[in-house]
Amino acid sequence: MSKKKNKYTNYGIRWFFIGTLILFFSLVARLSYIQLSSTVEGKNLKVYADENYNTSQKIPAKRGTIYDSNGVPLAEEVTAYTVSAVLDPSASKNSKVKRHVVDKEKTASELAPILGIDESDLLAKLGKPKYQVELGPGGRNISQSTKEQIEKLKLPGIVFTPSQQRYYPNGVFASHTLGYTNVNDNGDLIGEMGLEKSLNNELTEKDGKRSFLRDRKGNILPYENEKVTPPHNGDDVYLTIDTKIQSLLEDAMTSVEKKYEPEKIMAIVSDPKTGKIVAMSNRPSFNPNLHDITNYTNDPISYAIEAGSTMKIFTLGAAMNEGVYNGNEYFQSGRYKVPGGGTVHDVNRNGWGSITFDEGIQRSSNVGISILLNEKLGADRFLQYYKNFGFTQKTNINLPGESSGKLVFNYPLEKTTTAFGQGSTVTGIQIIQAASAIANNGKMMKPYIVDKIVDHDTNKVIKDYKSQVVGSPISEETAKRERALLETVITAPHGTGHNYAIEGYTVAGKTGTAQVVDEHGKYLKGRGQNLFSFIGMAPADNPKLVVYVAMLRPKLEATEIGSDGVSEIFRTVTKGALEYMKVEPVKNAKVDKLIDKESIEIPNLKGLNLDEAKSLATSEGLKPVLLGNGLEVTGQSIKSKTQVVRGTTIYLKTNGTNTMPSIIGWSKSDVNRLGKLFKLNISSKGSGFVTSQSIKEDSELRDHDYLTIELNKPNGATDEEKDVKVDVQE
């Protein structure tokens, strides 16, 4: 029995051993399979372990901030909030406080003015059969202060969802330079224009991560198991823009845009000794917080223009530098036949007779510049200077979208017109760079607007932009001599720049009135259909600023001239900036005389076409009013060579249909001038100033018409107006 039992025992042990081996090898095979495949029943074990035993938390980083030259934020990332309303009463179940909107009328009434939403629209949203609703555009991206204002109302059911937003504190402020951002599908801010786009890699942040281990019950294990990947905030960008000067520019441009409704305005303010752009803007502009964009072009650097007479300063600089300019030498103004074909005219086709080249610069004579090019300088030498001044190539300012302009220089007439700013195109930033050579005693400075890029986390400068001399197209002696002549453009009796005089400061500069090409390649004609511009430097003897302003096709009233808006921007910004920079003002009798509206001499406009007459009268400081639609001026309300106060209105009769102006508020002597011009039969009643007229405004006005007027004295007036001698040139 024992032998039999022992036999079965050994048999069992043998099978147990075999079973154990099979189980062992099965486990080894299974574990090897799991280790090699990392999956069980279709589940990735690593992912499964991470989901059940690891947890992580994002450490948010911030997009880099863009600062001005003084460290004032111009673009920064802030926390914004979206306002929603919980409408379902179930949200308040088992809660001691109400968590849904209880009084919809009160809620709408109190929120509407804060969010800028119509109360009835808000009430309609609160009446929807939903658990929760957003309160519309007015309730999105609200600031922390607005959130706190709403919280003080203690309205039940109002909740806030935080999000990150790019914020531009100044609104419409260097908008095309800064650009704007949008949010991509991952919720990240991405630059879409300007520096936000071109420096997107530098500005973009990288979020960090904190990782923990936890047990089966979800409890976080001790912190020694914690792993941290630190966040990296985006790099900060510091600009050369000065908020104070930029604000002066923005305010002046906004005022002029509202008054004249031009197609475009562009302006740049620079430090000629360093090349730093301290202010730059254009119109139309936009608010980067709202993305209300109608113009996607940064015009001062991207919009190539036929700049007009502002370009004459570079032709003048070339002639002076080559020693072929004699300001006291005379030439015959009016018209000039270009060797090789074509004729150039001055704005006054009748000419001013034989005048000196200095006077030609003051009067902005196309003929004088044409003679300098063809008979003194030579086209080939001029072309070399044109290129040395930086035209035909980009300045490579650190902004996206720069244009290089276009040189049109094949035929003799094209070469001549390029010398006074027509045909060939340039950009505002090229003019600023080239003008820095004249302002900076011959050294031409590369313009730049990004000063440095700084690592936000370490405060280490990653890239530092330095002032750079990019050429010396003229000598120091030439630069000083030219500035002295350009100062007389402002102060001389026949200078075209009287409007640009600034009390307490001297200005050297040049005006420009350029023709504008339409979509068919033809030059536009008519009142205001020009590009009006000015390049100026101040103070003239040692410029601290160079300012370029251009305005395209403003809508002008009968008494307004094209340079009015440009000069308003230039004077406001330049004077304000120099005072802010603590540049000491000086007494200057010539400037004071201009500001006090000195007397000027009426030119002969008879026989000129309308555009020529308007341009000439404007350049002389008058305000021309065209009464007709003919092609030629046949009479003017004030006789030539009469001395008048600068800014006087002069009425021009044409050989076409003439229309009656509104004469309400005119003096009797003004009416007599108009009557003399049209040989009117005038009868008047009363004294003082016109209060009614028998020929209605805009009616056809013909010679020998009968005009009846009534006049009344202003309140407080006692003396009757005395008739004065009327001199009319017909």
Residues acting as catalytic residues: 309
Q: How far apart are CA 262 and CA 581, in angstroms?
A: 30
Contact residues for 303 (Cβ-Cβ < 8 A; gap 6+): 264, 266, 297, 403, 427, 428
CA distance to 108, 275, 344, 563, 647, per residue, from 282 (Å): 40, 19, 32, 17, 28
The string of DSSP codes covering 136-193 is -GGGSSB-HHHHHHHHTT--TTEEEEEEEEEE-TTSSSSHHHH--EEE-TTS-EEE-S
Residue with structure tokens 């007599």? 672
Report residue 316 as tokens: 């003048």
- Over its C-alpha atoms, the chain yields an Rg (Å, rounded) of 38
At residue 345, the 3 state secondary structure works out as strand
Q: DSSP string spanning 381-414?
A: HHHHHHHHTTTTS----SSSS----B---SSHHH
Q: Is 103 exposed, middle or buried (0-12, 13-18, 19+ CB in 10 A)?
A: middle
**DSSP symbols for 665-710:** T-BHHHHHHHHHHHT-EEEEEESSEEEEESSPTTSB--TT-EEEEE
Q: Are 615 and 513 in contact (CB under 8 A)?
A: yes
Tokens standing for residue 357: 């080249």
CA dihedral over 116, 119, 125, 129, signed as positive or negative? positive
Residues 282, 549: Cα–Cα separation, whole Å: 10
Owner of token pair 């059969």: 129
> Rounded to whole angstroms, how far apart are CA atoms 183 and 166?
9
Distance in angstroms (rounded) separating the CA atoms of residues 208 and 210: 7
Residue 524 to residues 56, 417, 611, 625, Cα–Cα distance (Å): 66, 17, 10, 19
Determine the 3-state secondary structure of 605 from DSSP: coil
How far is it, in rounded angstroms, from Cα 710 to Cα 692?
A: 5
CA atoms of 282 and 268, how far apart (whole Å): 9
Core vs surface per residue 517-538: b (16+ CB within 10 A) or e = eeeeeeeeeebbbbbbbbbbbb
DSSP 3-state assignment of 251? helix
Q: Are 358 and 372 in contact (CB under 8 A)?
A: no
Measured distance CA(174)–CA(269) in Å, rounded: 12
* Cβ-contact 238, 79 below 8 angstroms: no
- 428 membership: H or E segment, kind and range: helix 428-439
Coil vs helix vs strand at 60: coil
User: What is the CB neighbour count within 10 angstroms for residue 570?
Assistant: 28
